[in-house]
Amino acid sequence: MKISVLAQNLHGSEIIKIAGEINELKKQGQNIANLTIGDFDADIYPIPAELRDGIIDAYNHNQTNYPPADGMLSLRESVSSFLNRTLGLDYAANQILISGGSRPLIYSTYLALVDPGDKVVFPTPSWNNNHYCDLTGAEAVLVETRPENNFMPTAEEIRPHLKGATLLALCSPLNPTGTMFDKKDLEEICDLVIAENKSRSADEKPLYLLYDQIYSQLTFGEYKHYDPVTLRPELKDYTVFIDGGSKCFAATGVRVGWGFGPAFIINNMKAIVGHMGAWSPKAEQVAMAEYLKNDDFVNGYLDTLKDRIQASLNNLHQGFQQLKSEGFAVDSIEPMGAIYLTINLDYTGKTTPDGKVLENSADVNFYLIKEAGVAFVPFSAFGTGEEVTWFRASVGATTLEDIEQMTPRIREALAKLK
């Protein structure tokens, strides 16, 4: 039986594959601390009570028919005001598109801007850009990043790849690392995009910038979120933002995302999302529109959520730093934002007690799943090579108490390797 070339070549989610292995072990009675999925356990991190009650009320008032293709006007206006108050970004309702989470927004950005064969430049590790290139037939240009720069791309790393490119895809705070651009590094990248566009003729497609800031409200301590348009206003005509309520309100299943950018791009994305049928449910839109208006509700929830997430990330970071001080070949990068910690487990080539050689990062991961009851995601799931020994740890579905109990188990499992 023949199927499409796209279907034959498209790879499934490596994270979901790991989750399947974990679920099998759980069925066998094993207790696994799952730090793989970039999600929240709703029993640990429920959505804001006011948002939940608003959704219920909207269903009780029969808000169950099709919403407008670009989203409820009340929500787009509410998002417009929210962006202005929280980030200083000035976007009108007609420059905002609502969809069922951020994925349709990213995909529709690709479909609206990228033709088959066009170059798309993005750093590795990063989330799903390789798959969106596969879906659109784009030429993926992977920019390898370094732990010395917290796995954030620099202008010098990006510079050689921009000539002739159609899209530069960036994310901050970054999934999978939880690290962020500082002001200087992002300014230098913005200047590259501006210079590249000035070098192109009027009949050439410009270089566009996709900026995923879905975690922008989840930053810790002195770390501050920066965006291209605030730093360089002349990029406003070339930048599409990806954002939404999924992460900052622990509302991944509520499915309310918002993208914003130039009206001519957003209008084309609207048609694409409409043909996908990727609308956000109407009742959830009605409730989110009201919720975003109340700064007391929003700020109170965010303060509590950020404190709890940061406590879990800090505890995990401190545990790995303790192991490092004891001579184990591990490391971690201080948490900056999102729900992720970047950790290093440099144990490829080691041998397990039963004689198996850990040949790559996936082997190291599955060894820890079985021996320590802890599951991470290798950076190879985010576009790097399997030889890279860095991993993503996601804390949204695990309690602080569970995290506190991980370090001794990891220590014991690593000590068995030869």
Give the Cα separation of 94 and 248 in Å (integer): 23
Give the Cα separation of 368 and 84 in Å (integer): 45
Give the Cα separation of 217 and 338 in Å (integer): 8
Q: Roughly what angle, to the nearest 10 degrees, separates helices 295-325 and 406-415?
A: 30
| Other CB atoms within 10 A of residue 318 CB | 13
Domains of the chain: 5-45+300-416 (3.90.1150.10), 49-294 (3.40.640.10)
> How does pLDDT run along the chain (418 residues), one tens digit per residue?
888 988 887 777 777 778 777 878 878 888 889 999 899 999 999 999 999 999 999 999 999 999 999 999 999 999 999 999 999 999 999 999 999 999 999 999 999 999 999 999 999 999 999 999 999 999 999 999 999 999 999 999 999 999 999 999 999 999 999 999 999 999 999 999 999 999 999 999 999 999 999 999 999 999 999 999 999 999 999 999 999 999 999 999 999 999 999 999 999 999 999 999 999 999 999 999 999 999 999 999 999 999 999 999 999 999 999 999 999 999 999 999 999 999 999 999 999 999 999 999 999 999 999 999 999 999 999 999 989 999 999 999 999 999 999 999 999 999 999 9
For the whole model, what pTM was predicted? 0.96
What are the contacts of 219-224 at 24+ separation with CB within 8 A?
219/173, 219/180, 219/306, 219/336, 219/337, 220/306, 220/310, 220/313, 220/335, 220/336, 220/337, 221/310, 221/336, 223/180, 223/336, 223/337, 224/183
3-state SS, residue 10: coil
Residues 6+ apart with CB under 8 A from 254: 47, 51, 55, 245, 246, 284, 288
| Other CB atoms within 10 A of residue 201 CB | 5
Beta strands 119-124 and 165-171, pairing class: parallel
CA–CA distances in Å: residue 298 to residues 134, 178, 245:
37, 22, 11
Beta strands 374-375 and 340-345, pairing class: unpaired
The pLDDT tens digits of the residues spanning 286-345 come to 999 999 999 999 999 999 999 999 999 999 999 999 999 999 999 999 999 999 999 999
Alpha helix (H) residue ranges in 199-262: 228-231
Residue type, 52: R
Give the Cα separation of 161 and 180 in Å (integer): 21
